[in-house]
Chains A and B, each alone.
Chain A
């Protein structure tokens, strides 16, 4: 207890060096914790975005690409799939339900998703949570739209507002706006903290209607469009969708269904198991993560070495102090203990501050990440391994303290009570 107070006062006496040492350890610990935080937070966030879906089906291509555009609204599909193929698979006896997605258009940077009633009733995220409405209802008519909560708050939309959708997925107002066929907002979805919040949802027929009269990839000439008022659901024939989510009646059939879809004869399709595809994603990123971890570890070593240097160089000016301590009865062991306590305290303070810093940074970054990616990175508690790493930092600090401590002990033995100045 005396030694703890001595160590504390001694450190406070060298406030600047102490502060700098603590900050350097804190920064390296913050980096360590921050990287882990982002890594685990991102995984949890990605995993939480889609639940209870056994297969994601799209045109044949990269499985990662399919996962990203179908679930995370990132990137885009290279090909659509025909509505007939979709219907064949949706009616497959082993299939419980499907949610079709028709993608490719946007509104002021937010993706537009053509889908069906199934989306509002079947889609699950964070294990069991389903889509709910903060206001209004699901769109029923062709030119009705439901918007995600981010879209509503970012653009200040209310129920009843009319929105114009843009061809393509530009970020902002487009040049080719479908302004001849505005959509009316009928529903605003409750916040999900997933990319669902960053999209607008229209019926599949709406998507089809929007592109009606287009020929060879160009919009109809002014005056040649079919007036919106005269378009009826019954007249529209859905030709294609981009992807669909699928749930099997029994999961025992998942692999069989996947195989059937992958070898579908009418057109090249691909089915992926979301968890497996995500795992693939993490493994791809894993190498970069490992490299980052190594860098982080080195930064930590540098921080601890900084502490060693600062304690070691302070010893010369503290020879007198050691002689006084010996005169009042401190043995060499007490002196060793004092220095080890000092370095332990520095490491502990650095670690605590570092963890605080990491969480503060994570809290600051949270809204930014959410605004840009629609991903809510949760603040995750350190795992058992995380705590072990943090304790290891403090233990390393204590162990490092033995280097200057042994030096001080040798000094004290050689100096006795007579330090010449």
Chain B
């Protein structure tokens, strides 16, 4: 697992991408609307993020839009992730992402941090995805 993470990290360095993690995303306080510097640095940055996919299109094999969340399985017993722990990913025009269930994926693309506390219908974090890879070794 360490080896895989290391390999991933190295691959990311090589491509000039930053790796964004879920703790960094918490720097956006969705109750007050304050965004710390760490979280703000993600705005318009080319990043890669590892998380689980909640796909929206009905097509079982590919999707153009999905939510990236830090844990898998939306169950009735736990609330959904807070707004600052969800990224709405829309694939770049013409691209589709292969749907991956119950395995983490690494999503690369440009991240956008939206102002305004994440009112209904407004994501805090939005990403235009360029590629989605299944992460093995977790």
Interchain CB contact under 8 A, B74 and A258? yes
Q: Which residues of A contact B54 (CB under 8 A)?
A: 254-255, 273, 276
The residue on A at minimum CB distance from B101 is: A279
Chain B residues, Cβ within 8 Å of A262: 76
Segment among B17-25, B33-41, B42-50, B119-127 that sits at the interface with chain A: B119-127
Inter-chain contact A275/B74, CB cutoff 8 Å:
no
A12 at interface, CB cutoff 8 A: no
Q: Is the CB of B74 within 8 A of A276?
A: yes
Q: How large is the interface on B (under 10, 10 to 19, 20 to 34, 35 or more residues)?
A: 20 to 34
Chain A neighbourhood of B118, CB < 8 A: 252
**Counting CB contacts under 8 A, is A43 at the interface?**
yes
Q: Which one of A51, A93, A94, A256 has the highest number of Cβ atoms from chain B below 10 Å of its Cβ?
A: A256
B57 proximal to A (CB < 8 A): yes
Q: Does A403 contact B (CB under 8 A)?
A: no
How far does the alpha carbon of A43 sit from the alpha carbon of B59 in the complex, in Å?
9
With both chains docked as a complex, state the minimum distance between the C-beta of B97 and any C-beta of chain A, in angstroms: 13
Residue of A nearest to B64 (CB): A127
Q: From residue 40 to 55 of chain A, which have CB atoms closer than 8 A to chain B? A: 43-44, 46-54
A43-B58 in contact (CB<8A): no
A410 CB-CB contact with B under 8 Å: no
Also in contact, A255 and B80, with CB within 8 A (given A47-B59, A275-B56, A282-B60): yes
Q: Mark A276-287, 1 if CB is under 8 A from B, else 0.
A: 101100100000
Contact B80 A47 (CB under 8 A): no
When the two chains form their complex, are residues A50 and B58 in contact, meaning their CB atoms are under 8 A apart?
yes
Is A254 in contact with B60, judged by CB distance below 8 angstroms? Answer: no
User: Which residues of the partner chain B approach A259 to less than 8 Å between Cβ atoms?
Assistant: 74, 79-80
Question: What is the bound-complex CA distance between A49 and B57, given in angstroms?
Answer: 12
Most buried by A among B59, B63, B67, B83: B59
Given known pairs A251-B88, A252-B67, A279-B101, the reply for A94 and B56 (CB within 8 Å) is no
Q: Is A100 part of the binding interface, using a Cβ–Cβ cutoff of 8 Å?
A: no
CB distance from A52 to the nearest CB of B (A): 8
Minimum CB distance partner of B119 in chain A: A93
Best-buried of B55, B56, B69, B76 by chain A (most CB within 10 Å) = B56
Asked whether B86 is an interface residue with its Cβ less than 8 Å from the other chain, the reply is yes
In the assembly, what is the distance between CA of A274 and CA of B54, in Å?
11
Assembled-state Cα–Cα distance A249/B67 (Å): 14
Once bound together, how far apart are the Cα atoms of A44 and B80, in whole Å? 29
**A258–B80 contact, CB under 8 A?**
yes
Shortest CB-to-CB span from B127 to chain A, Å, is: 11
Across the interface, do A254 and B58 meet the contact criterion of CB distance under 8 Å?
Answer: no
- Mask: chain A, 245-268; 1 = CB below 8 Å from B; 0 = not: 000111111111011001100000
Q: When the two chains form their complex, are residues A255 and B57 in contact, meaning their CB atoms are under 8 A apart?
A: no
> Chain B residues with Cβ under 8 A from A274's Cβ?
58
For B67, the chain A residues whose CB sits under 8 A away are 251-252, 254-255
Instruction: Known A258-B74, A279-B101; judge A251-B56 contact (CB<8 A).
Output: yes
Which residue on chain B has the smallest CB distance to residue A43?
B60
In the assembled complex, B81 has its CB within 8 A of some CB on chain A: yes
Tell me the B68-95 residues at the A interface (CB within 8 Å): 69, 74, 76, 79-81, 83, 86, 88
Cross-chain contact A54 with B56 (CB below 8 angstroms)? yes
CB proximity of A91 to chain B, nearest CB, Å: 13
Shortest B75–chain A CB gap in Å is 9
Complex formed: what's the CA distance from A250 to B79 in Å? 19
Residue from the list A50, A249, A273 in contact with B120, Cβ < 8 A: A249
Contacts of B76 in A (CB 8 A): 262-263
B56 to chain A, nearest CB (A): 5
Residues on A lying within 8 angstroms of B by beta carbon are: 43-44, 46-54, 93-94, 127, 248-256, 258-259, 262-263, 273-276, 278-279, 282
Q: Can you list 6 pairs linking A and B with CB atoms under 8 Å apart?
A: A51-B57, A254-B67, A255-B86, A273-B56, A275-B63, A279-B60
Q: A251-B56, A273-B54 are in contact. List 17 more A-B contacts (CB 8 A).
A: A47-B58, A47-B59, A49-B58, A53-B58, A93-B121, A127-B58, A250-B122, A251-B65, A254-B67, A255-B67, A255-B74, A256-B80, A256-B83, A256-B120, A263-B76, A274-B58, A279-B60
Shortest 8 CB-CB contacts between residues of A and residues of B: A255-B80, A252-B123, A250-B121, A249-B121, A94-B120, A252-B88, A47-B60, A51-B58
